[in-house]
């Protein structure tokens, strides 16, 4: 069954338009598709298709929020389904245990989500900020900043390799099985590449090493770097590392399908390694809303500025988003659909989150869903790709 949804009217923050080569930092506003230069019927289809993703007994997601627009105009702003629908997962029935009506929570535009790997984008921006300031070299060796991380130092891993997932490090480490923080840190220090550096192998470990590097370099923790360098200047007041009461529920996390026994999660980070690290990690841990992420997208589309705030210069936004992307994935049809092809950049998150920004059409698409509620399933990004295609076809 589908839950109640809401179409909000409260604009958040600011944005840009990039018409005729001119970048504008005009603040975001909710307006008509026509004002955004988008086809009304295509945007209606986009909203309708997202609502359908939450319908039925076994929906793609219990709930979802979509925010999309062009230039400074938010033309689609829709919530559907449930932030909390289930109390547990029943493995014998292979289905969620429905919560009683009083215990359910409808999805709203303002519902925060566990961003999962969208956190990597913020860690990447924090790194490029240091590159812009001249305190970090894009092709510098990690060992120059972290000499005690002897495996990375011995293999000559570079900052660029961490940001482009070409370090050769394996996808993840079981830090959640370590006895304490000292053991977790030693695992990171001793982790050597599993394959020859240079080939793309997507790895959470890259961003964990980058977190260690940034914290050593600046003397500040990652949550402070993200807050002071990105979210506070941009007015992204709903974006922070957890815990985050009121967030959309994620998984009834239990072995054998998960890597820890934690029960139904809401407001606590889903990723087991981020949880083991106290909730602040370079690869996962942030919570945010679709409105806040729209501000983040508009900032990058405007060359790093948003209203009076500037978090990066245009040249460094280019460095961040140019193929193959630093932290960002570029031109990936499997989740961008027809938005891919001319430099669209974005990312997905394991919990069901995604964002895409397309400089060629000056558009952005944020689709947040709790697809792992009540438990994780094999990933299915076809709905994300369809949403990207729908937005691309709406561009006049």
Note the pLDDT tens digit of each residue in 217-266: 999 999 999 999 999 999 999 999 999 999 999 999 999 999 999 999 99
* Mean pLDDT calculated for residue range 300-320: 97
Q: In Å, how far are 74, 89, 90 from 93, measured between CA atoms?
A: 41, 9, 6
Instruction: Judge whether 305 lies within some domain.
Output: yes
Please state the φ and ψ torsions of residue 95, each to the nearest 5 degrees. Answer: -155, 160
How much is the CA Rg of the chain, to the nearest whole Å?
20
Band of residue 23 on the pLDDT scale cut at 50, 70, 90: low
Instruction: Judge whether 9 lies within some domain.
Output: no
Instruction: Judge whether 312 lies within some domain.
Output: yes
Note the pLDDT tens digit of each residue in 119-155: 999 999 999 999 999 999 999 999 999 999 999 999 9
Number of structural domains the chain divides into: 1
CA dihedral sign of residues 170, 114, 105, 259: positive
What pTM value is reported for the model? 0.94
Task: Pick the closest to residue 331 from 395, 392, 379 (CA basis).
Answer: 392
* Mean pLDDT calculated for residue range 83-111: 97
Other C-beta atoms closer than 10 Å to the C-beta of 188 total 19
Measured in residues, the chain has a length of: 396
Domain residue limits at 361: 17-115+288-394
Q: Give the model's pLDDT for residue 22.
A: 55
Instruction: Judge whether 223 lies within some domain.
Output: no
Note the pLDDT tens digit of each residue in 347-363: 999 999 999 999 999 99
Instruction: Judge whether 301 lies within some domain.
Output: yes
Instruction: Judge whether 56 lies within some domain.
Output: yes
Structure tokens at 282: 């370079």
Instruction: Judge whether 363 lies within some domain.
Output: yes
Residues facing residue 82 across a β-bridge: 106
Q: How far apart are the first and last CA of the chain?
A: 35
d(CA 206, CA 163): 7
H-run or E-run covering 299: helix 290-301
Q: Compare 13 and 39 and report the one with higher pLDDT.
A: 39
């Amino acid at each position: 069954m589908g839950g109640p949804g809401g179409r909000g009217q409260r604009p958040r923050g600011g944005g840009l338009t990039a018409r005729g080569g001119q970048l504008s930092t005009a603040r975001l506003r909710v307006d008509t598709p026509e004002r955004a230069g988008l086809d009304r019927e295509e945007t209606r289809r986009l909203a309708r298709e997202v609502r359908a993703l939450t319908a039925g007994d076994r929906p793609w997601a219990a709930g979802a929020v979509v925010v999309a627009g062009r230039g400074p105009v938010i033309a689609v702003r829709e919530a559907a389904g449930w932030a909390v629908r289930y109390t547990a997962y029943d493995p014998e029935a292979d289905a969620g245990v429905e919560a009683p009506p009083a215990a359910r929570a409808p999805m709203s535009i303002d519902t925060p989500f566990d961003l999962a790997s969208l956190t990597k984008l913020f860690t990447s921006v924090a790194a490029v900020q240091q590159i812009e300031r001249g305190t970090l070299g894009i092709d510098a060796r990690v060992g120059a900043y972290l000499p005690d991380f002897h495996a990375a130092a011995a293999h000559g891993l570079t900052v660029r390799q961490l940001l482009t997932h070409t370090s050769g490090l394996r996808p993840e480490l079981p830090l959640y099985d370590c006895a304490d923080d000292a053991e977790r840190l030693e695992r990171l220090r001793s982790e050597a590449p599993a394959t020859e550096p240079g080939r793309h192998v997507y790895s959470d470990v890259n961003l964990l090493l980058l977190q260690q590097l940034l914290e050593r370099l600046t003397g500040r923790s990652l949550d402070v770097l993200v807050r002071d360098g990105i979210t506070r200047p941009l007015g992204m007041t709903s974006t922070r590392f957890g815990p985050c009461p009121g967030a959309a529920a994620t998984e009834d996390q239990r072995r054998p399908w998960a890597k820890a026994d934690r029960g139904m999660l809401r407001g606590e980070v889903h990723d087991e390694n981020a949880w083991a690290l106290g909730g602040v990690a370079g690869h996962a841990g942030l919570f945010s809303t679709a409105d806040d992420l729209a501000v983040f997208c508009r900032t990058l589309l405007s060359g790093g500025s948003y209203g009076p705030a500037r978090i990066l210069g245009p040249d460094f936004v280019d460095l961040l988003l140019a193929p193959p992307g630093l932290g960002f994935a570029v031109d990936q049809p499997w989740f961008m659909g027809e938005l891919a092809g001319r430099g669209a950049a974005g990312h997905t998150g394991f919990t069901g989150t995604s964002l895409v920004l397309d400089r060629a059409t000056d558009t952005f698409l944020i689709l947040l869903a709790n697809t792992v509620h009540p438990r994780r399933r094999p990933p299915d990004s076809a709905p994300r790709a369809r949403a990207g295609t729908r937005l691309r076809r709406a561009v006049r």
